[in-house]
Every structure is written in C-alpha cells, then in structure tokens.
Structure 1
C-alpha cells in the first residue's frame, strides 16, 4: 500500500470510528426518548409496549403475528405486551373478520391522540436540531440512515 492509500485508509477508519460513536449516542438518546414518551402516554407503559403501540397506531391495525415478526420478539412476549396495552386501555382487540383465530389490534382514540402530540413535539425538536443543514445534507443523512438500516 502506498503512503497516500494508507492515509486515506486511516482517514476512513477515523471517520467510521466517529460515526460509530455518534450512532451510539443517538441510540442512547433514542432509548431515553422512548422511556420519556412511554410515560407521557401512560405512567405504567413500558418501552416495549410503547414501541408496539406506535407501530399499531401508525399501521392502523396489526395482529400479534405481525408484531412478533416486525420486532423479532417471541410470541409469548408479544402476547404479554398486548395484554398490558389492553389492560392500560391503550389498544382494543377484536376478532379478525377473515380469520377468526387472529385478533386485530388497534389503538384507542386517546392513545392515538397522545401519540400525535408526541410526534408533533419530536418533529419540532428534530427540525430545530437539523435547522442548520441544507435540504441536500438532510437527504444525504437520510440516505446514510437508510443504508445503515439495511445492514
């Protein structure tokens, strides 16, 4: 390897190290934001339940099988979380019209309203943070995150 190649390789390694460090900070902040958001929806809502609730709300409806697949969770764990969400009055469950063995889950109106407000606040925070970026820089960041999500 020639000297310029070694320098480029070292620069790439340094940049990747910085990227990994920043991703770790983002993940830590995300976990904290999930905890804060879950408590705002309901004081007894867990982070796991919050993630399932947000998925159900965005999708409109879901079933336990979809949740287990999407979140790579054991069906018994999903079942416990769904039961907790029902007990807290955050979702309702009804028989699937096409397959009576399945239950269709949907967010209750009050839960949906709380999530709309949280999303609005999160979007405002995000806009404030990325306000100094150009639209092209935001697009580049979005592309990078999309590619990282596919790894």
Structure 2
C-alpha cells in the first residue's frame, strides 16, 4: 500500500512539474509571439491597456480601486496606467458618484476599437496556431485554461 501511494505521489509530483514548466513556457512564448508578430493590430495597445480595456468592455465603467482589485494590481499602478490611457484617448475619467474622492473609468470609442482590433488579431493568430486541432481539443483547451485562470484568480483574491 505504501509503495502504491509513493508511486502516486511521485507521479503527481512529476505531473505538477510538467505543468509548471508548460505554464512558464506558455508565458514566455506568448510574449515572444506578441512581440514578433508583424501585424500592426497586435501593437496598437500595450498589454496593460489591453487587459484594462477588456475588463471595462465586459464589466462596464469602474472606479480605479475596483479595477485594481479585479486585476490584482496596486492602486497606484492602475492610476498610472489609467493616466497614460487617458492621455492616449483610450479611456475617460469622471467623478465617482458613490465616492466624491474617486473617479470612474470608462472606455472611449477609440479604446474599444483598438481593443477589438487586438482581440481580432489574437483570435486569428490562435486560429492559425490551432488549425490542426480538433474542435473538441480546442474546446477542452479553452475549458482547462479557464479553470486554471479561475484557480489563479481565487488564490490571488485570498491574499
């Protein structure tokens, strides 16, 4: 019995090691692919602006502290990013009606258009990369990545 448990533990440890390696490679290769992609659509937004605009697109206008909390970032970091995005015409800030000291951030038409262009370019890229995969495999990958992101998000929220 102990031998079986020891084998299961060793196998589980090896699997977790493979997962760690593959996630590290995914992050590195994803960033390298983004930088190396020649199309302009991939470059119309930096990564931080894209993530903020994607969240605003799905959740609607947010105050900076809610945005920081949702994205697991420091408030001062989000404030700097939002300021740069406002200068670039990607977002607008209005006084927060619930808290006079804060502001509510909304995506502008320009911000939404740039975000949509990056999203479409990335979707085409993944379509090309995964063209040989079956629809079931692509669906499984999407489900598993979603579960991984939910687990990472839940862990970050507990901290």
Q: Shorter-chain TM-score category?
A: 0.7 to 0.9
**Which residue matches 1:102?**
102
SS of the residue corresponding to residue 62 of structure 2 reads coil
Among candidates 148, 151, 159, match of residue 148 of structure 1 = 151
Q: Paired residue for 2:44?
A: 41
| CA shift in 2, pair 1:4/1:133, >3 Å | farther
Q: In the alignment, is residue 134 of structure 1 matched against residue 109 of structure 2?
A: no
Instruction: Determine if contact 2:86/2:92 at 8 Å carries over to the other structure.
Output: yes
What residue in structure 2 maps to residue 117 of structure 1? Answer: 117
Instruction: Tell me, in whole angstroms, the C-alpha distance in 1 between the residues paired with 2:53 and 2:34.
Output: 12
1:58 maps to what in 2?
58
Unaligned runs of 5+ in 2: none
Q: Equivalent residue for 1:78? A: 78
Q: C-alpha distance in 1, partners of 2:136/2:119?
A: 22
Following TM superposition, by how much is the alpha carbon of 1:17 offset from its aligned partner in structure 2, in angstroms?
Answer: 0.9
Whose RCO is larger (CA < 8 A, sep 6+)?
2
Give the CA deviation at 1:69.
Answer: 1.5
**Separation of aligned partners in 2, 1:7 and 1:39:** 46
Native 8 Å contact 1:34 1:50 kept in 2: no
Alpha-carbon separation, structure 1, partners of 2:53 and 2:14? 39
Q: 1:142 Cα deviation (Å)?
A: 4.3
Does the CA-based 8 Å contact 2:42-2:118 persist in structure 1? no
Report the TM-score when normalising by structure 1. 0.73
* TM-score normalised by structure 2 residue count: 0.70
Distance 1:59 1:19, change over 3 A: same
Task: Count how many residue pairs are aligned between Structure 1 and Structure 2.
Answer: 148
Q: Does 1:17 align with 2:20?
A: no
The change in CA–CA distance for 1:89 and 1:39 in structure 2 (over 3 A counts) is: farther
Structure 1 stretches lacking a partner, 5+ long: none
What's the CA shift string for 1:1-22, capped at 9, x where partnerless? 5433333322222111111100
